[in-house]
């Protein structure tokens, strides 16, 4: 233990007068705001989009052509912008309220009293209290240190904790991994190390997302395809003998281009994410990124820390059994003195402290070694009494002490959390275990399994998620608790001390981690190595935790999940924080993620099918030179009834189907053949009907519109599977709305839908039937060919 700096009063800290003076001088911890989008940036991001730019350009062109009635499609610019801005502002407001609850706190000593402050309330020269798991909120200089180890891995990348003594500098953004102490604030606000580091890259950036990347890839390809395709179509229409005016050629070109633009895809993708984030926020689950709602749905391996997740995290004292010749009175005095000697006892010592008070006679602590997750023990040297050690029996007991070890094993097999109290004479050896320790007592503590844990773990098992329990406790204890919670494969626990070194034998390490389900005596570095090993085998890994020993693993996991009652360090690195400490929230997170992923895939199928049939129609018209078979307003009508309105409902509907990899590939394998068949069938009907002597161009376009709408509704039904009553009702409602448009005179006139003569309806029925069967068969046929090709390549 380092003696405190005698030159400064560490018992008082700053006085109220000194704090007021510093506030008046502006010497407060005014930290720059987190890099979130401002209102102006939100508006620009939702208004100035490539899709809106293309639609706006087409809007200008259709006005130049003299067809303002065909500009109905431009309404999507307004709807996309308004809905996107409103929803993002709503999400930002909701998340901000939760972020205030999750914000780190600082404990300052003022006027001799330790008070909890918001980080922004810290002033210059503040005396701040440190205990395990605390974040360093400002830069400072250590004034008192009791076994103080600081983890600076979040700043430097170096995972080994750094021992700090009086006069050492500490940097904001690091955290206490062991020990306790005091430090005085030196650099605050924008002058602190973490703030300067953040300022260098202070830009809002969306996290990586497979869904968003897939959608962006589709948009990039369409951005490349649309301009040349539309330009070639316009040139062909201008040269065609069947198109009389340049305005008609431009009208047909705009119709084709509008259909090729997936106008609502980006909106519905963002909307699905935002609604998911808000749904989680209502359950007091703070997702720090939009993609967090997607990540857990892709997780196939969930690593749980026993304490605080499977169990309630409330450790209670069970029993104590004196060993050898030591009396119960001596054991009680030693335990009480150990608890009293630590200024910031961990949960284990605190539980023991509920039973044993500090002894009446003098036990003077001369040197303290606080508990460390890496060592798995704590110790205190008392003047004239030697050193007392408390911690893991496997570490502290001598190898040849079979008697005590057998007693410990029996308690651990019963599911108890077992510690031993040992004694050593002579000088204290700091963080080094003496060669011989005399066992003084066996201590039993109890963990309470969460009542909903078995049901929740069974839910994850049924959803195909592998559960692994990783703990620093005795392997037998961990296995017993895991069995009570219903974890499969928990017949025995694996002792992590028997794992090979990950850096030297990564393959063997990964084999064992994949094979075993329950691990005990795991160090923080091993937890991180386990996450990396599972990732190296292609697994998507989520890690839950609440203690400082979980930080490294949480940081490296695909998705880190922290409890709201956990240390500020774990909450800082986790992507999802369960503010109400309810493990039962995780299934809801999984369900929200699956809803987002599966529904965006459905919506993408709709919009890419539309783009595909537009490209097919452009190609066929370009070859034939015929007038384009649709007016822009007719394609807007088809898109609204077969894509836009149903897509909105599908994007927000419940959907907990298992998530499969290969989002973009599946979308293309369905949409390309479905769109090609739909476009070809509609164009065939158009060309056949156009050759009837008594049929006008408007009637031929109406026949094509009905055929394409019928094909679109078949696509809607197919991507809505498995069918439910409301989905059938949605498809039927869309068809009835089109019938209503055809039946109401002024609507029929606006959309220039002329009812075809009787003999044309047979062609429409045949074309719609062929289109429906083709849309049903073509994607499955294409997928089968693609699967066979992949198998051939693999072979």
HSE-CB of 699 using CA atoms within 13 angstroms: 17
547 closest CA partner among 374, 789, 790, 365:
374
| Tally of CB atoms within 10 A around 491 | 10
Tell me the C-alpha distance between 696 and 230, whole Å: 26
484, 451 Cβ separation under 8 angstroms: no
How would DSSP label each residue in 41-92?
Answer: HHHHHHHS-HHHHHHHHHHHHHHHTT-GGGGGGGHHHHHHHHHHHHHHHHHH
Torsional sign, CA 646, 652, 653, 656: positive
Q: Which of 657, 645, 730, 596 is nearest to 271 (CA)?
A: 596
Query: Which CA distances in Å does 475 have to 338, 392, 403, 482, 492?
Result: 26, 11, 19, 10, 7
Strand segments, DSSP code E, in 551-697 are 559-563, 576-578
Residues designated as active site: 305
Query: What DSSP state is assigned to residue 550?
Result: G
Contact residues for 718 (Cβ-Cβ < 8 A; gap 6+): 674, 775, 776, 779
Contact 315, 445 (CB under 8 A): yes
Token pair recorded at residue 384: 């004239």
With a CB cutoff of 8 Å and minimum separation 6, the contacts of 329 are none
Ramachandran angles phi, psi of 304, nearest 5°: -110, 135
Pull the structure tokens for residue 110: 């003022």
> What are the C-alpha distances in Å from 36 to residues 88, 137, 202, 289, 775?
11, 20, 10, 11, 44
CA distances from 735 to 477, 612, 640, 713, 742 (A): 62, 22, 11, 8, 11
């Amino acid at each position: 233990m380092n003696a405190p700096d005698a030159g400064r009063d560490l018992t008082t800290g700053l006085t109220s007068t000194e704090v007021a003076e510093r506030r008046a001088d502006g010497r407060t911890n005014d930290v720059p705001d987190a890099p979130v989008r401002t209102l102006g940036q939100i508006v620009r991001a939702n208004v100035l989009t490539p899709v809106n730019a293309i639609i706006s350009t087409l809007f200008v062109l259709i006005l130049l052509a003299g067809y303002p009635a065909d500009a109905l499609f431009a309404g999507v610019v307004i709807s996309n912008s308004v809905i996107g801005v409103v929803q993002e502002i709503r999400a930002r407001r909701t998340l901000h309220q939760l972020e205030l609850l999750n914000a780190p706190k600082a404990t300052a000593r003022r006027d001799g009293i330790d008070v909890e402050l918001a980080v922004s309330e810290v002033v210059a020269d503040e005396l701040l209290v440190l205990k395990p798991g605390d974040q360093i909120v400002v830069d400072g200089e250590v004034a008192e240190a009791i076994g103080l180890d600081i983890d600076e891995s979040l700043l430097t990348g170096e995972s080994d904790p750094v021992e700090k003594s009086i006069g050492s500098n500490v940097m904001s953004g690091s955290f206490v991994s062991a020990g306790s102490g005091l430090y005085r604030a030196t650099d605050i606000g924008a002058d602190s190390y973490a703030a300067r580091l953040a300022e260098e890259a202070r830009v809002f950036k969306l996290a990586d997302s497979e869904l968003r990347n897939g959608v962006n890839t589709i948009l990039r390809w369409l951005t490349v395809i649309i301009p040349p395709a539309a330009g070639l179509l316009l040139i062909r229409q201008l040269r065609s003998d069947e198109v009389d005016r340049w305005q008609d050629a431009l009208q047909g070109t705009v119709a084709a281009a509008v259909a090729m633009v997936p106008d609502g895809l980006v909106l519905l993708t963002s909307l699905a994410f935002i609604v998911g984030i808000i749904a989680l926020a209502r359950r007091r689950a703070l997702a720090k990124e939009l993609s967090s709602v997607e990540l857990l749905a892709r997780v196939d391996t969930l690593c749980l820390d026993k304490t605080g997740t499977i169990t309630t995290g409330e450790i209670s004292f069970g029993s104590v059994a004196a060993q050898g010749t030591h009396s119960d009175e001596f054991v009680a005095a030693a335990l009480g003195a150990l608890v009293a000697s630590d200024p910031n006892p961990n949960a284990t010592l605190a539980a023991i402290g509920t039973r044993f008070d500090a002894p009446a006679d003098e036990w003077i602590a001369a040197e303290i070694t606080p508990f460390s997750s890496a060592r798995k023990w704590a110790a205190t040297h008392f003047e004239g009494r030697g050193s007392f050690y408390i911690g893991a029996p496997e570490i502290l007991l001598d190898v040849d002490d079979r008697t005590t070890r057998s007693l410990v094993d029996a308690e651990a097999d019963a599911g108890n959390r077992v510690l031993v109290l040992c004694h050593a004479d002579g000088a204290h050896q700091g963080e080094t275990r003496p060669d011989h320790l005399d066992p003084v007592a066996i201590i039993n503590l109890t963990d309470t399994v969460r009542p909903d844990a078995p049901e929740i773990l069974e839910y994850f098992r049924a959803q195909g998620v592998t559960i692994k329990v990783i703990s620093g406790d005795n392997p037998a204890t961990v296995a017993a608790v895991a069995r009570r919670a219903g974890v499969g494969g928990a017949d025995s626990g694996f002792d992590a001390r028997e794992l090979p070194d990950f850096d030297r034998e990564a393959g063997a390490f990964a084999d064992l981690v994949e094979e075993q389900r329950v691990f005990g005596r795991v160090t923080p570095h091993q937890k991180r190595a386990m996450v990396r090993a599972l990732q190296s085998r292609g697994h998507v890994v989520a890690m839950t935790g609440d203690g400082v020993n979980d930080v490294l693993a949480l940081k490296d996991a695909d998705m880190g999940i922290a409890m709201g009652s956990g240390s500020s360090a774990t909450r800082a690195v986790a992507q999802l924080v369960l503010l109400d400490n309810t493990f039962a929230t995780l299934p809801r997170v999984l369900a929200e993620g699956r809803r987002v992923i599966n529904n965006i895939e459905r919506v993408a199928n709709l919009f890419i099918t539309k783009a595909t049939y537009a490209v097919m129609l452009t190609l066929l018209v370009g070859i034939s030179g015929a007038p384009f078979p649709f007016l822009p307003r007719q394609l807007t009508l088809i898109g609204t009834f077969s894509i836009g309105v149903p897509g909105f409902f599908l994007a927000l509907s419940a959907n907990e189907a298992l998530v499969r990899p290969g989002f973009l590939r599946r979308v293309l394998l369905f949409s390309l053949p479905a769109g090609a068949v739909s476009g070809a069938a509609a164009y065939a009907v158009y060309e056949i009907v156009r050759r009837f002597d008594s049929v006008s161009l408007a009637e031929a376009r109406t026949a094509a519109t009905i055929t394409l709408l019928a094909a679109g509704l078949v696509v809607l039904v197919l991507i809505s599977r498995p069918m439910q009553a409301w989905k059938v009702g949605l498809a039927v409602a869309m068809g009835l709305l089109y019938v209503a448009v055809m039946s109401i005179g002024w609507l029929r006139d606006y959309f220039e839908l002329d009812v075809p003569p009787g003999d044309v309806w047979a062609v429409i029925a045949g074309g719609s039937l062929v289109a429906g069967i083709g849309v049903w068969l073509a994607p499955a046929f294409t997928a089968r060919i693609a699967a066979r090709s992949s198998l051939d390549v693999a072979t």
